[in-house]
Structure 1
Amino acid sequence: MVSLKRFTDEVLQSAIETPQPDPEGTMVVAPAVPVGARRIPREEHCLSRRQISSGALQVLNTLHQAGHQAYLVGGSVRDLLLGREPKDYDVATDARPEQVRKLFRRNARLIGRRFILVHVQFGPEIVEVATFRGQGESAEETSERSASGRILADNVYGSLEEDAGRRDFTANALYYNIADRSILDFADGLTDLQAGRLRMIGDPEQRYREDPVRMLRAVRFAAKLGFQMDAAVEAAIAPCRDLLLEVPSARLFEETIKLFLTGHAQSSFDLLRRTGLFAALFPQLDRVLDAADAESARELLRLALEGTDQRVLLGKSVTPAFLFAALLWSALQAQRQHLEAQDKPANVALQQAAAELLEESRGRVAIPRRFALPMREIWDLQPRFTRRGGRRPYALLAHPRFRAAFDFLLLRQQSGEFVDHPELAGLGTWWTEFQEADSEGRKALMEQARREDAAPEAPLGPLPSNGLRRRPRRRRRKPSRLARVPSAADDASGNGTTG
């Protein structure tokens, strides 16, 4: 990668906030205002170049000096005007992707199929550069669409005015002009920002049909920014919800991650439920949550979402595996109980329910294998917390997924899932003490658990919390006198019998 060090002087020079006179003493002339745009001069807005990352500034300056139009656009402009730290920076330009790549050479790579973009990388920072999108009105430049109107391929280039018309929400159609430090507002987006209103550019239903993911984006922006969705934006969701079935399930997973793992999971969930979008993404879980006796399921989900938001706020790591394990746990339990009612063995019912649930999600929100496997481990370990005899607690403690499974157990207990099963109420406390105890303390805890399990009131039937039946203890067979004589290899490896 090319170092930013050689660009330092240029970036510092470009950070000056007022227009500079040229050698003849005249001021820099502001570019002509595009048709339909309102130009907000530098002195009338709060966005400063000093707030923009060095990488984004370098991309803007390089494009501008090469004779191209270059604008900071989208969420970065919106967030800076709201006093927030942008997560990333997007640049819009009239330069074609090949021209952008040529300007930045080894720092740039082309990505995307639906619309080709250029990622320009400076160290850990990636600046996304997009060529102005057009309306595709000519016969040779028509976007490829599905029967429902969804845009499938969109490599149609156009003017700045056309690009603004293709943006989804007014708050995302603000362009910061590197040439004169003004902001171009094509859809009264600054007024909507100040009012805390999320408004669509164009007819909301038509825009949803072009790209159904915009419904999820509406929820995400409203939750993230604390904005009120415009009445037309929300009303158009109901007739378009089923269009999400046309969206690739991998893309829906990515959008779901943005909804739930960026610090506003609880408010996103509330909006998804209110608009009916949660049922479109997780139909089986939505039915469970609507049941009258699902109080503990709703509470578990609330605790998981709030805990996720808290970890994001504190800068701690979050994993989709744990959150999705919590999201789908209640649906898993309902499916497991249904299978057990068909005389499936408890452990078989649990495994089959997990497989069926994940398979069903492939048609909605496809959970990648790298997250699905840890999810299933978290679920599979839950019944093992009730087995506290012999070497089993030590084996569970050594499991690589123990900590996540233990945290999940505490979440279940806190949600009230064990309220009708007093024999399980102290399970989380027992395992907490077992982790902290020394060798003698662990032996005492295991003896205590043995006495509790042997008590007459201990349940012998299926445990509603994990679906496992208590198995009778098997007698160890005495070794036959005709057993083979252990070899030297057995003695060396520790796998053979000893005389």
Structure 2
Amino acid sequence: MTRGEHGISREDISANALKVMYRLNGAGFESYLVGGCVRDILMGYEPKDFDVVTNATPEQIKGLFRNCRLIGRRFRLAHIVFGREIIEVATFRGHHQETDESETVPKNKATGSQDAQGQLVRDNVFGSIEEDAERRDFTFNAMYYSVADFTVKDFANGLAAIEKREVALMGDPETRYREDPVRMLRAVRFAVKLSMRIETSTAVPIKSLASLLQNIPPARLFEETLKLFLSGKGEETFLMMREYDLIDQLFPQLAPFLKDENSKEMQFVRHVLANTDERINNEQRVTPAFLYAALLWYPVEEQSQRLQLESGLNAHDAFNIASSEVIAKQTQRIMIPKRFSTVMRDIWILQQRLPKRFGRRAFQLLTHPKFRAGYDFLLARGQTEGGDLLELAQWWTHFQHAESGKQKGMLNALKRADSAGKGAPRKRKRRPVKRDSDA
């Protein structure tokens, strides 16, 4: 497509991305913008990042840029660092070739390999732009913009997919999902993000192949879940993932609680995700710790109750042990960095402490560094479950904003109500004091 046909302008492109492409071209290499940034510009969105592909090898790229670092094991990438902006540059990927019986190495000297399930575990195979396009995952990601002649190369009818509002895999869907099971998550994310539907042949294998996500490193799945749930459309993404049985693979401890669409657990998760979406869309801060605390709250609560019944532990010890066990089990599937798991524990512990408001405890809790997160969590629970939990959350809503005198009045009223509920305290009988004459 020529510039008149696609309408992409250099004004739509990061100045740093342009610098990278100009320097690569000036050194005699090909370079293109590729993937999501091209797709988003064509759809009228502002890209969040700009990816470049080239026929230069990673080492050649590094030789051209002093601000370059090479990353990746499965496939080597170059990151060109411009302050806070990073331009990712990849070498054209090629196809894997089977080794002939008479050969000891593949014909194209590929260093790629797959495991028994067909998943790519090493992918440093370089090729041409045509081969690179065939290796792309979705059709609308196989479009390449050249700053040299201002054309867009559309290798898989990506523009047609955009016009049809379809997320469609390139090649055989089952084979592509086996190569990289994360593509199932990406299919859902793109469908929600771009307000598209997943094309039928792309959608059909997802449920049967969802278990392949168990082969993905937990650290990579943590990054993927952030993209899924912190996109501003987390609730809608969650519902589509549940439709395709993907939640079961990522959060196996949560899955049993979501069987009933109207269960309190399902409503609570949706409530938290909806609130998170609202905050993101209003450009307010969010933390993955709060989201993960919500996703794993009911598994922790259930495990704590089970430990009390089966092991005779007190509520405090059972809750602490349950928290550790649930987090440990979850990190086998999705790695949760300690900086977030520590905050999750704080939020959970505050759920045990916030009902205890007598004396100085209420004032001490207000100074807790994670009070606000714990209170927000309690409020979400109360708005979902209602009853005493909602009354408790409302009490804290008023208490934290009240003046000092009003706060003391609220605590006194709480104390009187508690005394009335237990009945008037009995007066202790004084023991008679013995006198010397009684001895």
Task: Return the TM-score normalized by structure 1.
Answer: 0.81
Q: Deviations over 1:422-465 (max 9, x none)?
A: 4x43212211221122222111111111122233379xxxxxxx
Residue number in structure 1 paired with 2:404: 439
Residue number in structure 2 paired with 1:174: 143
Residue 355 of structure 1: how far off its partner (Å): 1.0
Match of 1:245, SS? helix
Residue number in structure 2 paired with 1:103: 64
The amino acid that maps onto 1:126 is I
Distance 1:50 1:303 in 2: 40
Residue 185 of structure 1: how far off its partner (Å): 0.6
Summarize the alignment of residues 42-191 of structure 1 with structure 2, pairs less than 5 Å apart.
42-105=3-66, 107-137=67-97, 138-139=106-107, 140-191=109-160
Conserved 8 A contact 2:16-2:82: yes
Paired residues in the alignment total 413
Residue number in structure 2 paired with 1:198: 167
Residue 340 of structure 1: how far off its partner (Å): 2.4
Q: Deviations over 1:195-234 (max 9, x none)?
A: 1100000011101111111111111111111110011111
Residue 129 of structure 1: how far off its partner (Å): 0.3
Q: Deviations over 1:326-378 (max 9, x none)?
A: 11112222222222222331112211211111111122112111100000100
| Equivalent of residue 305 in structure 1, options 273, 276, 279 | 273
Match of 1:440, SS? helix
CA 1:242 to 1:457, structure 2 compared with 1: closer, same or farther past 3 Å? farther
Residue number in structure 1 paired with 2:226: 257
CA 1:457 to 1:72, structure 2 compared with 1: closer, same or farther past 3 Å? farther
Conserved 8 A contact 2:381-2:390: no
The amino acid that maps onto 1:329 is W
Residue 154 of structure 1: how far off its partner (Å): 0.8
Residue 295 of structure 1: how far off its partner (Å): 2.2
Summarize the alignment of residues 307-386 of structure 1 with structure 2, pairs less than 5 Å apart.
307-342=275-310, 343-386=312-355
Residue 171 of structure 1: how far off its partner (Å): 0.8
Summarize the alignment of residues 31-46 of structure 1 with structure 2, pairs less than 5 Å apart.
40-46=1-7
Residue 249 of structure 1: how far off its partner (Å): 0.7
Q: Deviations over 1:25-62 (max 9, x none)?
A: xxxxxxxxxxxxxxx11111121111101001111111
Deviating 4+ runs (over 3 angstroms): none
CA 1:457 to 1:179, structure 2 compared with 1: closer, same or farther past 3 Å? farther
Conserved 8 A contact 2:257-2:266: no
CA 1:258 to 1:313, structure 2 compared with 1: closer, same or farther past 3 Å? same
Match of 2:32, SS? strand
Match of 2:253, SS? helix
Match of 2:69, SS? strand
Aligned Cα root-mean-square deviation (Å): 1.4
Q: Deviations over 1:85-122 (max 9, x none)?
A: 111000000011111111112x1111111111111122
Residue 291 of structure 1: how far off its partner (Å): 4.6
Residue number in structure 2 paired with 1:451: 416
Conserved 8 A contact 2:379-2:390: no
Give the unaligned 5+ runs of structure 2: 98-105, 424-439
Distance 1:110 1:425 in 2: 52
Distance 1:168 1:455 in 2: 67
Conserved 8 A contact 2:260-2:266: no
**How many percent identity over aligned positions?**
48
Residue number in structure 2 paired with 1:296: 264
Conserved 8 A contact 1:245-1:363: no
Residue 158 of structure 1: how far off its partner (Å): 0.6
Conserved 8 A contact 2:383-2:390: no
Residue 287 of structure 1: how far off its partner (Å): 0.4
Residue 131 of structure 1: how far off its partner (Å): 0.3
Distance 1:453 1:381 in 2: 21
Conserved 8 A contact 1:204-1:233: yes
| Equivalent of residue 184 in structure 2, options 199, 211, 215 | 215
Conserved 8 A contact 1:78-1:172: yes
Distance 1:360 1:291 in 2: 23
Distance 1:340 1:145 in 2: 46
Q: Deviations over 1:359-417 (max 9, x none)?
A: 111221121111000001000011211111111111111110001001111111111x2
Distance 1:337 1:265 in 2: 30
The amino acid that maps onto 1:427 is L
CA 1:455 to 1:383, structure 2 compared with 1: closer, same or farther past 3 Å? farther
The amino acid that maps onto 1:134 is G
The amino acid that maps onto 1:86 is P
Distance 1:435 1:363 in 2: 39
Distance 1:452 1:212 in 2: 57
Conserved 8 A contact 1:388-1:450: no
| Equivalent of residue 392 in structure 1, options 361, 374, 378 | 361
